[in-house]
Structure 1
Amino acid sequence: MNTLFLMNSLWVMVSAVLVILMIGGFILLETGSTRMKNAGHIAAKTILTFSIGSIIFWAVGYGLSFGKGSALIGFSNFFYSGYDVKGLSLSGAVFFLFQLAFAGISLTIAFGGFAERAKLTVYLVFSVLFSILVYPPIAHWIWGGGWLAEHGKQDFAGSTVVHLTGAMAALAATILLKPRIGKYNKDGSANNLAGHNQVFTALSVLLLWVGWFGFNAGSTLGINKAFFGYVAVNTNLGAAAGTVAALMISWIMMGKADVSMMLNGALAGLVAITASCGFVDTWAAVVIGFIAGILVFYSIRFFEKLKIDDPIAALSVHGTAGVWGTLSNGLFATKELATIGKPGLFYGGGLHQLSVQAMGVVTCAAYAFLVSFFLLLILKVLMNGLRVTENEEITGLDLSEHGSYGYPELVKLETKLKAQ
């Protein structure tokens, strides 16, 4: 094995570890953004569903995504052995692990739409179905040599493949599960079911921000010309611009510097720059992130007006920002960096790439939503509903689903106070 092969493999292995560590960031994000009575449940189901998703991706998902097949789906590499070599530049086992991590992140995003009201059994079964029927076809279309790849669809690290796919599954879940108890009043006004730990949420954003360097820069799949450094710079600029923009717009519109909106802006900037981090100039990365920060503010308000209860803003952060990030390539992709597809509108490419990006957004979003909705609808019938009972939801999923509480000391204190 030559040195370049080993160095490429080492770099992508480190990146895969960073992406898997992002699961920890999502645990803190979801627990911090929801109520205390569900904290242990959310942490546990995230680890469990990632484990299930890993096994299913090994058995079936990887072959469907990256196996040899048609323009629609792959048909080889099921029950992945770990012995093949990815071309001549990268270990096949490392590439597999890297792609498994991406599939796991998309699944975790999808489950944001289930938060605080779905049965644990629904999480378990949908983990299997999502990892076979929802994520792999889209990954194959864009990254596995499928029909969108043939059209030159640009998605450097997954604004569409990972984020939009997960967000559309989350949308299907929020619609079928309906809002949490107490979220909306009879007059349609919304109550703020505030998350219990804003420090957790802030720390989660920092962890995700760091993990995103593996997510985006690792997608170079090698160290050639150290291009991963350029991708990392664009990633950081997009996140920073999204943070500033979301804080500014919330301050202007609400009169207060809203912390949760600022944090959502950071994540929106990261999601948006994910599709374009390897295709655009640094100034464009700032613009893309800044617009994402503004969009996420209005998107959260929009979904709330529609009475779509999205506890961790998955639809806005991963959906709306994912759409914008994907489309932005059709505007800002440069002639020098557009190794896939063509340059964007502002670089002499006309509307061609923008139309390809739009086609990819519409088809992938529709597929992920419709398949997820149909699967969940079937589960709703077969499993006697997707949602826990009203009493279980009020009690909290820590106790009702697991028989233990994420914060046992506070349960003891509450019991003592009631007794007095």
Structure 2
Amino acid sequence: MSELIELRYALDTLYFLLCGVLVMWMAAGFAMLEAGLVRAKNTAEILTKNVALFAIASTLYLTVGYQLMYGGDAGGILPNIGFLLGAENTTDAVLAGGDAPYYANRADFFFQVVFVATAMSIVSGAVAERMKLWAFLAFAVVMTAFIYPLSGYWTWGGGWLAALGYHDYAGSGIVHLAGAAAAFAGVLVLGPRRGKYGKRGEVFAIPGANMPLATLGTLILWMGWFGFNGGSELKISDIGSANNVAQVLVNTNASAAGGVLGALILARLWFRKADLTMTLNGALAGLVAITADPLSPSAAGAAAIGMVGGLMTVVAIVMLDRCRLDDPVGAMSVHGVAGIWGVLAVPLSNPETTFGMQFVGGVAIFAWVFCASLAVWWLLKSVMGIRVSAAHEYEGVDVAECGLEAYPEFRLEHR
């Protein structure tokens, strides 16, 4: 019997870790998506941000964030900060298990840390092409160490939203809406790219440099999402869990496909063209929308949830542009609007939840992350500045921030 228990433990741990690796692979997806949707002169900097933010998230969540997220009392509002004041609650003790909650172990930490990096990656694309690299990285420190872990404690850490009954299987609100809220605050403080909007309200398209890269990034994210949602079942070693994982993966794929079809059809009807960028964002919107509960719906229901998410995202991208909120990759629409929809769609197929519970959870997460992020962005703007100069923005932030260009042979063309 003990050998069987050890085998199940090993299988569950291996499954958990491999799903974490898949989610880490999403960092490559975000990097490629953003590199494809920005201009060539800003590519090296966006890639640097994506690599550096993952390292910052891994380090800050290890030293601070994980303990904040899982170190508080059940039903509480504020997590335990005793370890910050010198109490004997070290990271090693938390990761080893001991008296910590059941899931407080090294495998869970690895799975959770890649979620933190995902939330921060959402911010990267929305503020692309005009933000200072070091200002962005400074914000990443605060976001991954404190802002995200606090609302994470409210939900997955057993805090007051969990006690209320808020349901978010893999993080439509906890991860994606949080990332979009932080991005929204940053965009408000930062302002749009120069040349994006005219004085009479015109909106000028600024095409990305590499659509094949953007498409590759989307497909990598689609693949990584199977780990994102599938790993959130937490185990696979019994029949019930194995069946749940299968249902989650089927629904995740169906919702992404529904998002593609919804965005593609609406773009064709609205713009008279099959817009690739809208189609790619439709896939991501479907993935974000189903993440709140990829287990309860039928496959057809998941496809419908994804299709609505895709439709809403196309509309949101256009509306945000009309409001002069410049988001080069559509991150606020994909992760914010589709994230809200995903959270509110849970009661449609899950009788254990209510619209009231879900609404309160979504509002609380958005309000906390937005207000805290807005304060941090304003502080950074006052202390070190967050926007590159007009000259550097014109030349491209690659040279100004990184001292090199991603496509040096295009030097004369992009200036």
TM-score past 0.5 threshold: yes
State how far apart, in whole Å, the 2-side matches of 1:131 and 1:362 are. 20
The 1:56–1:283 alpha-carbon spacing in structure 2 relative to 1, beyond 3 Å, is same
Q: Which amino acid aligns with 1:43?
A: L
State how far apart, in whole Å, the 2-side matches of 1:304 and 1:90 are. 42
8 Å CA contact 2:313–2:337 kept in 1: the answer is yes
Aligned to 1:261: 278
Normalised by the length of structure 1, the TM-score is 0.91
Q: Does 1:5 align with 2:9?
A: yes
Aligned to 1:45: 49
Q: Which amino acid aligns with 1:79?
A: T
Aligned to 2:30: 26
Q: Does 1:69 align with 2:82?
A: no
Q: Among 109, 118, 121, which residue is 2:131 paired with?
A: 118
- 2:274 is paired with a residue whose SS is coil
8 Å CA contact 1:16–1:97 kept in 2: the answer is yes
Query: What displacement does 1:262 show?
Result: 0.7
Q: Which amino acid aligns with 1:402?
A: C
Q: Which amino acid aligns with 2:44?
A: G
- 1:242 is paired with a residue whose SS is helix
Query: What displacement does 1:316 show?
Result: 0.4
8 Å CA contact 1:86–1:92 kept in 2: the answer is no
Aligned to 2:405: 405
Aligned to 1:276: 293
Q: Which amino acid aligns with 1:408?
A: P
Q: Among 307, 310, 315, which residue is 1:290 paired with?
A: 307
8 Å CA contact 2:71–2:79 kept in 1: the answer is yes
Q: Does 1:161 align with 2:174?
A: yes
Query: What displacement does 1:398 show?
Result: 0.6
- 2:388 is paired with a residue whose SS is coil
Query: What displacement does 1:253 show?
Result: 1.1
The 1:68–1:80 alpha-carbon spacing in structure 2 relative to 1, beyond 3 Å, is farther
Aligned to 1:221: 234
Q: Among 55, 58, 78, which residue is 2:59 paired with?
A: 55
Q: Among 343, 347, 352, which residue is 1:330 paired with?
A: 347
- 1:311 is paired with a residue whose SS is coil
Aligned to 2:154: 141
Aligned to 1:377: 378
Query: What displacement does 1:85 show?
Result: 6.7
> How many residue pairs end up in the alignment?
398
Q: Which amino acid aligns with 2:392?
A: E
Structure 1: state its 5+ residue gaps.
Answer: 336-341, 344-352
Aligned to 2:336: 319
Query: What displacement does 1:121 show?
Result: 1.3
State how far apart, in whole Å, the 2-side matches of 1:414 and 1:33 are. 18
Q: Does 1:395 align with 2:399?
A: no
State how far apart, in whole Å, the 2-side matches of 1:87 and 1:130 are. 24
State how far apart, in whole Å, the 1-side matches of 2:78 and 2:395 are. 44
1:134-156 deviation line (CA, Å, top 9, x unaligned): 10111111101010000111100
Aligned to 1:360: 361
State how far apart, in whole Å, the 2-side matches of 1:104 and 1:414 are. 34
State how far apart, in whole Å, the 2-side matches of 1:99 and 1:87 are. 16
Aligned to 2:21: 17
8 Å CA contact 1:60–1:78 kept in 2: the answer is no
Query: What displacement does 1:252 show?
Result: 0.9
Q: Looking at both structures, which has the greater relative contact order when contacts are Cα pairs under 8 Å and sequence separation is at least 6?
A: 2
The 1:78–1:31 alpha-carbon spacing in structure 2 relative to 1, beyond 3 Å, is farther
- 2:91 is paired with a residue whose SS is coil
What's the C-alpha RMSD, in Å, of the aligned pairs? 1.8
Q: Among 295, 308, 322, which residue is 2:325 paired with?
A: 308
Q: Which amino acid aligns with 2:366?
A: A
Q: Among 183, 191, 199, which residue is 2:204 paired with?
A: 191
Structure 2: state its 5+ residue gaps.
Answer: 84-88
1:158-190 deviation line (CA, Å, top 9, x unaligned): 000100000000000111110001100111111
Query: What displacement does 1:124 show?
Result: 1.7
